[in-house]
Chains A and B, each alone.
Chain A
């Protein structure tokens, strides 16, 4: 009889703490801004920034000193690439350099005299490319497009020479490149930047807003906040689990809306890669949210003042992003830092999430990551529980 009474009380307590936590969140403008505002604003604003996905038509200048049919053809081929746009044709390298210095162009291509003569007579011709490497994507565009255009042009030239020696078109094609490589870029064929970073960035936003938001609402034992418990001091041990369950439930509840928005709607609006079924995504999100929320509750106990969460954790956001291996490969990060970064759930979830959603692998292919996050969640939960029991015992002894 008595156990049933306790059980009902436990559920009631959980429900009370669940709604209490939600009420606290919705009456605190700072927390609301972080937990919901940031999750609504960031994904959309960032996605607008990356809306064009790829950088096209990087402006370059071509200095054509040959003024021939061949050099004009070469220029047209470069201009026709989607990456580059020939906006100036200065007469010499000095004026091209000036255009460079005043930011009018990001690259210069120089076609020297005798270009056509060399090409037609079967001598090697030279072309020089000057690429500004101070911005990565512009540099990549200039080098890639000039290399490809040059390869096409060269291919055509040697094809003509082989044909002049009496080979058929088909033969000449094989002779000029006996071992051609055909590359297939899988999963993100257009190399779109938004499709590349946004899915992972959204998860970092989830993690950081949860960690900061939970901390912002106050450590449960912080000086600036009244005790969160309802039961009298002697019975508090029994309240710890309902309290944590209710609190966790409240954050999962809010996260469901955030998932619906950022993981379903935003992906739909901006056409981010989506090869996974939503139930699979939810299966992966669950351990991620659990371990993040437990970590958040655990860390929040360390803060004496509520604003401390911002002071101590905001700066970790860009670091969490780069440690996840999303845009900077983990193989280029020192091993000790990679191990340390496993403390954050984002490090484990992002690679798994990208494989699931961008590459379309099955849940079995990300099993190890899911197991890791469940273990992580349990560890964080146990640490938090131990802390709560110790604190409650200390308080009740004092009383």
Chain B
């Protein structure tokens, strides 16, 4: 009963502090809303479409017009420039106005129908790997299709029926089955991960801010008095309101992803929900590590920010962990986010069994346990004036 009462008292004290300091309001409300909201809008359109392409048509034939129209018709490319002047097209590529140049040389149509070698050179700006990949695939497919239709026309003239001709043009037909993310929507990968990065960043920073502020302002004794000298109650009482608020944010992210964006949920939602709750708790308590080792609010916040930002790259989201050097793979395991990300993708997209999720949750719990070891140190700092006041 007493425990409950002092826990309640600490939480009440914390709420008073939250209401009096705008920084708390930002960390708890405005920051996550702005961060998550901006990410939502950045990736809302989802797929990359209609990349600008220049067609240098020096043939000016029925075939060359057919090629330009076919390129324009595909959803990946948009023919924004048609010119016979290759230098003009190159200038536009240099200025970033077009992403690729398709050249149709002089007498292409004539050569094609006479059975003489006719090539279509395609130049793609490789600066952006994502755009270049999309364009390469799209332009090649379009031209291949036209090449195929020319071949079909010729084969049917030699007396083959359509089926025979098609078997000649495409001897092996490859059927693609896209598993787990049927829309191959790149934004699902980025958006889901980055929204959680945002969430966990604010979880960590707000916890460091509130725990560190007690030391900065020398209010540790007052805190311990409220919690009847129990550092455990003090920490739980202080962090409780944050746990509640950030869990609500986690739920909102789930709604944004699954309900509004239409991201597939192939696995068990309860595992995802449980795991995100555990990860929130872990990041909250990890504040003890940062505050405990630096005993300096500003330095703790600096290091924690750096740590959180690194977690994005090393979660293997944009560039897979398997492709990284061994050192980087080991380094990546030092971020709870890496494990969260594996769990989230495997549960949400791949619908993996619970068995696969459990080790990931255990790895996250390791961080939580290590954090708990810093509790006695934190109490020591709360009690001792010589650790106070360091900004």
Q: A residues touching B (Cβ–Cβ < 8 Å)? A: 29-30, 33-34, 37-38, 41-42, 45-46, 48-52, 54-56, 74, 100-103, 115, 119, 122-140, 143-144, 146-147, 150-151, 153-154, 157-158, 161-162, 171, 174-189, 191-193, 196-197, 212, 216, 224, 305-308, 310-312, 314-319, 322-323, 326-329, 331-334, 337, 351, 354-355, 358-359, 361, 365
Q: Using Cβ atoms and an 8 Å threshold, which residues of chain B touch A326?
A: 128
| Extra 19 A-B pairs, beta carbons < 8 Å, given A125-B172, A129-B176, A186-B93 | A48-B328, A49-B324, A54-B323, A55-B320, A74-B172, A127-B174, A129-B174, A143-B176, A144-B137, A177-B144, A179-B146, A181-B147, A185-B132, A187-B127, A306-B298, A310-B301, A322-B190, A327-B128, A329-B128
| Cα distance A74–B171 in the bound complex, in angstroms | 13
Q: Quick one: closest B residue to A192, CB to CB? A: B129
Residues in B316-370 with C-beta less than 8 Å from chain A: 316, 318-320, 322-325, 327-328, 331-332, 345-346, 349-350, 352-353, 356
Please determine whether A135 and B345 come into contact, CB atoms closer than 8 angstroms: yes
| Cα distance A332–B146 in the bound complex, in angstroms | 29
Please determine whether B129 and A178 come into contact, CB atoms closer than 8 angstroms: no
Q: Known contacts A33-B299, A158-B171, A307-B301: does B319 contact A50 (CB below 8 Å)?
A: yes
Q: Using Cβ atoms and an 8 Å threshold, which residues of chain A touch B51?
A: 329, 331
Please determine whether A179 and B120 come into contact, CB atoms closer than 8 angstroms: yes
Please determine whether A315 and B35 come into contact, CB atoms closer than 8 angstroms: yes
Q: Using Cβ atoms and an 8 Å threshold, which residues of chain A touch B174?
A: 126-129, 146-147, 150
Q: Using Cβ atoms and an 8 Å threshold, which residues of chain A touch B189?
A: 134-136
Q: B391 contacts the other chain (Cβ, under 8 Å)?
A: yes
| Cα distance A123–B194 in the bound complex, in angstroms | 48
Across chains A and B, which 3 residue pairs bring their CB atoms closest together, nearest first? A133-B181, A55-B323, A179-B147
Q: Using Cβ atoms and an 8 Å threshold, which residues of chain B touch A54?
A: 323
Interface centre among B46, B150, B190, B298 (most CB of A within 10 A): B298
Q: B26 contacts the other chain (Cβ, under 8 Å)?
A: yes
Shortest distance from the beta carbon of B299 to any chain A beta carbon, whole Å: 5
Please determine whether B172 and A171 come into contact, CB atoms closer than 8 angstroms: no
Please determine whether B122 and A358 come into contact, CB atoms closer than 8 angstroms: no
Q: Using Cβ atoms and an 8 Å threshold, which residues of chain B touch A146?
A: 174
Q: B270 contacts the other chain (Cβ, under 8 Å)?
A: no
Question: Among the listed A55, A123, A178, A318, which residue makes an inter-chain contact with B319, where contact means beta carbons less than 8 Å apart?
Answer: A55
Please determine whether B209 and A157 come into contact, CB atoms closer than 8 angstroms: no
Please determine whether A52 and B184 come into contact, CB atoms closer than 8 angstroms: no
Interface centre among B119, B126, B170, B182 (most CB of A within 10 A): B126
Q: Using Cβ atoms and an 8 Å threshold, which residues of chain A touch B126?
A: 185-189, 191
Question: Among the listed A38, A157, A197, A305, which residue makes an inter-chain contact with B306, where contact means beta carbons less than 8 Å apart?
Answer: A38
Can you report 26 A-B residue pairs in the complex whose CB atoms are below 8 A from each other?
Answer: A48-B328, A50-B319, A55-B323, A74-B172, A124-B172, A126-B174, A129-B175, A133-B181, A133-B184, A134-B346, A135-B189, A178-B112, A179-B120, A181-B119, A181-B120, A182-B120, A182-B122, A188-B132, A307-B391, A310-B301, A327-B128, A331-B48, A332-B46, A333-B41, A337-B42, A361-B95
Q: Using Cβ atoms and an 8 Å threshold, which residues of chain A touch B26?
A: 311-312
Q: B177 contacts the other chain (Cβ, under 8 Å)?
A: yes
Question: Among the listed B130, B154, B352, which residue makes an inter-chain contact with A101, where contact means beta carbons less than 8 Å apart?
Answer: B352
Q: B179 contacts the other chain (Cβ, under 8 Å)?
A: yes
Q: Using Cβ atoms and an 8 Å threshold, which residues of chain A touch B41?
A: 333-334, 337
Q: Using Cβ atoms and an 8 Å threshold, which residues of chain B touch A122?
A: 164, 167-168, 171
Q: Known contacts A178-B150, A183-B124, A191-B133: does B298 contact A307 (CB below 8 Å)?
A: yes
Please determine whether B175 and A128 come into contact, CB atoms closer than 8 angstroms: yes
Question: Among the listed B38, B163, B180, which residue makes an inter-chain contact with A133, where contact means beta carbons less than 8 Å apart?
Answer: B180
Q: Quick one: closest B residue to A109, CB to CB? A: B174
Interface majority SS (helix, strand, loop, mixed), chain B: helix
| Cα distance A193–B317 in the bound complex, in angstroms | 13
Q: Using Cβ atoms and an 8 Å threshold, which residues of chain A touch B310?
A: 42, 45
Please determine whether A130 and B119 come into contact, CB atoms closer than 8 angstroms: no
Q: Known contacts A52-B325, A183-B140: does B172 contact A126 (CB below 8 Å)?
A: yes
| Cα distance A318–B200 in the bound complex, in angstroms | 13
| Cα distance A176–B168 in the bound complex, in angstroms | 8
Q: B375 contacts the other chain (Cβ, under 8 Å)?
A: no
Please determine whether A52 and B194 come into contact, CB atoms closer than 8 angstroms: no
Q: Known contacts A179-B112, A184-B122, A328-B190: does B181 contact A124 (CB below 8 Å)?
A: no
Please determine whether B136 and A185 come into contact, CB atoms closer than 8 angstroms: yes
| Cα distance A316–B37 in the bound complex, in angstroms | 12
| Cα distance A316–B189 in the bound complex, in angstroms | 19
Shortest distance from the beta carbon of B49 to any chain A beta carbon, whole Å: 7
| Cα distance A117–B279 in the bound complex, in angstroms | 55
| Cα distance A314–B31 in the bound complex, in angstroms | 10
Please determine whether A327 and B31 come into contact, CB atoms closer than 8 angstroms: no
| Cα distance A311–B212 in the bound complex, in angstroms | 13
Q: B252 contacts the other chain (Cβ, under 8 Å)?
A: no
Q: Quick one: closest A residue to B102, CB to CB? A: A181
Please determine whether A322 and B42 come into contact, CB atoms closer than 8 angstroms: yes
Q: Known contacts A29-B299, A184-B123: does B314 contact A49 (CB below 8 Å)?
A: yes
| Cα distance A42–B311 in the bound complex, in angstroms | 11
Q: Using Cβ atoms and an 8 Å threshold, which residues of chain B touch A354?
A: 127
Shortest distance from the beta carbon of B131 to any chain A beta carbon, whole Å: 6
Q: Using Cβ atoms and an 8 Å threshold, which residues of chain A touch B209?
A: 307, 311
Q: Quick one: closest B residue to A146, CB to CB? A: B174
Q: Quick one: closest A residue to B184, CB to CB? A: A133
Q: Using Cβ atoms and an 8 Å threshold, which residues of chain B touch A119?
A: 171-172
Q: Using Cβ atoms and an 8 Å threshold, which residues of chain B touch A311?
A: 23, 26-27, 31, 205, 209, 301
Q: Using Cβ atoms and an 8 Å threshold, which residues of chain B touch A38?
A: 306
Q: B261 contacts the other chain (Cβ, under 8 Å)?
A: no
Please determine whether A186 and B147 come into contact, CB atoms closer than 8 angstroms: no
Q: Using Cβ atoms and an 8 Å threshold, which residues of chain B touch A319?
A: 35, 38-39, 42
Question: Among the listed B38, B151, B171, which residue makes an inter-chain contact with A337, where contact means beta carbons less than 8 Å apart?
Answer: B38
Q: Quick one: closest A residue to B327, CB to CB? A: A48
| Cα distance A131–B137 in the bound complex, in angstroms | 16
Q: B143 contacts the other chain (Cβ, under 8 Å)?
A: yes
